Amino acid sequence: MSDLRGVIVSHAAVAQALVSAVTAITGIEGVLTAVSNEGCGTEALGQRLREAVGGGPAVLFVDLPGGSCFTSSARYAKQGGADIAVVTGVNLAMLLDFVFHRDIAPAEAARRAVDAGAKAIRVTAS
C-alpha cells in the first residue's frame, strides 16, 4: 500500500513545520501533506482535506483532539470510509515512523504511529 498518504491537519503553520522536519530528517518527499485551518471555516477546511487526500488511502494526523481541525478530519474520515484513519496529538516521532511504514492499511499505520509517538514522550531529569 505504498500510495498511503499522511495528511497533517493543524492550526496555523504547525503542519508545514512538521512536514519540513520529516523531510529534512529522512529525505523522503511527497508522502506528507500539510493542511492548515488558517483563514478558513469548516467547509473550506473540508475542501482542503479532500484536495490533500485525493482518491487514495490516508492517515490524517491532527494537532489537537478537539476544535475545527479534529471535527473536520473526523467528518471527512466518516465520509471516506475504511481507507481513512485519524490520529490526534501529532508529533515528530509518529510521523517518522509513518513515512517508513506505509505498506500497511491506514488503521494499522495509524496504530503504529500512535505507539511510536507515545513511546517518544518522556519526562527526563535535569
CATH number for the domain including 100?
Answer: 3.40.50.510
In-domain check, residue 66: yes
For residue 2, the model assigns a pLDDT of: 65
The model carries a pTM of 0.95
How far, in Å, CA of 7 to CA of 14, rounded?
12
Dihedral sign, Cα of residue 44, residue 4, residue 34, residue 111 = positive
Q: Using an 8 Å Cβ cutoff, are 7 and 33 in contact?
A: yes
Nearest 5°: the CA angle 93, 47, 4 is 40
Closest CA to 110 of 88, 80, 81: 88
Provide the grid cell at 42. 469548516
In-domain check, residue 57: yes
For residue 1, the model assigns a pLDDT of: 47
Quote the domain boundaries for residue 112.
Answer: 5-119
Counted domains in the chain: 1
How far, in Å, CA of 97 to CA of 91, rounded?
10
How far, in Å, CA of 20 to CA of 126, rounded?
29
In-domain check, residue 125: no
Q: What is the pLDDT of residues 51-110, one digit of tens each?
A: 999 988 999 999 999 889 999 999 999 987 679 999 999 999 999 999 999 999 999 999
